[in-house]
Amino acid sequence: MAAHANNPLPSSEFNFFIYLPSRLASTLSSSARHSYRHPFTLPPPHTNTIAMAQSREDSVYLAKLAEQAERYEEMVENMKRVASSDQELTVEERNLLSVAYKNVIGARRASWRIVSSIEQKEESKGNEVQVKMIKGYREKIESELAKICEDILDVLDKHLIPSAASGESKVFYHKMMGDYHRYLAEFATGDKRKESADKSLEAYKAASDVAVTELPPTHPIRLGLALNFSVFYYEILNSPDRACHLAKQAFDDAIAELDTLSEESYKDSTLIMQLLRDNLTLWTSDMQESDKPVDKDDAADAPAEEGA
DSSP calls for 27-51: TS-GGG---SS-S--PPPPP---SH
d(CA 155, CA 91): 17
Q: What is the pLDDT of residues 278-307, one digit of tens each?
A: 999 999 988 877 655 544 444 444 454 544
Question: How many domains does the structure of the chain reveal?
Answer: 1
> What is the model's pLDDT at position 301?
45
Query: Average pLDDT, whole number, for the chain?
Result: 84
Write down the pTM of the prediction: 0.81
Q: Decide: 298 and 6 in contact? Cβ < 8 Å.
A: no
Q: Does residue 38 form part of some domain?
A: yes
DSSP letters of 179-226? HHHHHHHHH--HHHHHHHHHHHHHHHHHHHHHHHHHS-TT-HHHHHHH
Q: pLDDT tier at 7 (50, 70, 90 boundaries)?
A: very low
Q: Is residue 17 part of a domain?
A: no
Of the candidates 176, 280, 290, 164, which has an alpha carbon nearest to the alpha carbon of residue 231? 280
Residues in the chain, total: 308
* Rounded Cα distance, 185 and 17, in Å: 22
Q: What is the Cα–Cα distance from 8 to 31, expressed in whole angstroms?
A: 27
Residue 11 lies in a domain: no
Q: Identify whether 5 is part of a domain.
A: no
Residue of 210, 247, 213, 242 lying closest to 227 (CA atoms): 247
CA distance 288 to 301: 13
Cα angle for residues 80, 213, 161 (degrees, 5° grid): 20
Q: Are 42 and 68 in contact (CB under 8 A)?
A: yes
Instruction: Give 158's DSSP letter.
Output: I
Q: Which domain holds residue 202?
A: 22-301
32 in a structural domain:
yes
Give yes or no for residue 253 having a pLDDT over 90. yes
Amino acid at 31: S
Q: How confident is the model at residue 263 (pLDDT cuts 50, 70, 90)?
A: confident
Q: Bigger pLDDT: 11 or 111?
A: 111
Amino acid identity, position 67: E
Asked if the structure places residue 212 within a domain, the reply is: yes
Task: Please determine, for residue 61, whether its predicted confidence score (pLDDT) is greater than 50.
Answer: yes
Answer for the pair 223, 272: CB distance below 8 angstroms, yes or no. yes
Establish if 147 belongs to a structural domain: yes
| In contact, 32 and 266? CB cutoff 8 Å | no
The residues, ordered by sequence, that sit 6+ positions from 38 with a Cβ below 8 Å of its Cβ are 16, 64, 67, 95, 96, 99
Domain CATH number, residue 105:
1.20.190.20
Q: Is residue 15 part of a domain?
A: no
Quick one: pLDDT at residue 42? 56
Contacts 24+ apart (CB under 8 A), 40-44: 40/64, 40/92, 42/68
